[in-house]
Amino acid sequence: MTTIEANLQEVRERIARSCQRAGRDAKDVTLLAVSKTFDADAVRQAQAAGQRVFGENYVQEGVEKIRNLQLDGFPTSLEWHCIGPLQSNKSRLVAEHFDWVQSVDRLKIAQRLSEQRPDRMAPLQVCLQVNVDQGANKSGVAPGDLLALAQAVAQLPRIRLRGLMSVPEPVAGFEAQRDVFLQVKALFDDLNARGFALDTLSLGMSDDLDAAVAAGSTMVRVGRAIFGSRPAAA
Ligand SMILES: *Cc1c(COP(=O)(O)O)cnc(C)c1O
């Protein structure tokens, strides 16, 4: 068994235990494998171990990986999520290669993505990134601006609004982590009460996925616990 395969198994068991503690069904939490800084071979290994959904932070790197795997005749059933900060000049690459974008935090970028999404592809699946704890130099829409953004994005023709994503500042301790995630869950519930049909709450990474599952996350984004530690600069 490869290290990646063993790690994946461990993460899946961890999610299952968290779900059990929270009285939730493990099938309701999707594992997104964050392959940033790791090469296409790491993706192949994870795929061989049954992983289907992958996330990338850096647009250029992600697109190269997706293209390389496609050239290899790799199964096209993989699902690719862009989870990193979005710049306008990279939006076309994102619109043409990814299945999902989780880091939409302003209308202008959503409009570009909608305009640039090729007709032959399914609508781009989108989560809005919320800066829930208002971290100083972080991306994400402020909670007070979320409703207006959601209303505008939901109108765009080539985009399908699926949910919310957040990356809170790291805090220590299960309860403190869960309390921040619950604030995002409350925003998610509020939007659904207003008639949005959101099904994706993307919360939790290697260090806090247990608290995220307790708060209602439906998708955890896990990098290091699957692929190992990354170089410090990345
Ligand atoms: C890197 C990254 C992750 C994965 O983080 P790990 O700590 O490696 O699990 C998840 N979400 C986002 C937005 C990231 O940038």
Which residues approach ligand 1 with their CB closer than 6 A? 34, 36, 57, 83, 167, 205-207, 221-225
Asked if residue 188 is part of any domain, the answer here is yes
pLDDT value of position 224: 97
- How many Å lie between the centroid of ligand 1 and the Cα of residue 136? 19
Asked if residue 234 is part of any domain, the answer here is no
Minimum CA distance residue for ligand 1 atom 7: 206
Each residue of 64-93: b (16+ CB within 10 Å) or e? ebbeebeeeeeeeebebbbbbbbeeebbbb
Asked if residue 81 is part of any domain, the answer here is yes
The pLDDT tens digits for 6-53 are 999 999 999 999 999 999 999 999 999 999 999 999 999 999 999 999
Supply the pTM of this predicted model: 0.96
Asked if residue 233 is part of any domain, the answer here is no
Query: Which CATH number fits the domain that encloses residue 57?
Result: 3.20.20.10
Report which ligand 1 atom has the smallest distance to the Cα of 230: 8
Q: How far apart are CA 91 and CA 44, in angstroms?
A: 26
Asked if residue 11 is part of any domain, the answer here is yes
- How many Å lie between the centroid of ligand 1 and the Cα of residue 204? 8
In total, how many domains does the chain have?
Answer: 1
The pLDDT tens digits for 53-85 are 999 999 999 999 999 888 777 666 899 999 999
Q: Given ligand 1 and candidates 83, 128, 200, which is best to mutate, with the most ligand atoms within 8 Å of its CB?
A: 83
**Six-digit token string for 189:** 């519930």
Structural domain harbouring 102: 3-227
Asked if residue 42 is part of any domain, the answer here is yes
Asked if residue 232 is part of any domain, the answer here is no
Report which ligand 1 atom has the smallest distance to the Cα of 34: 4
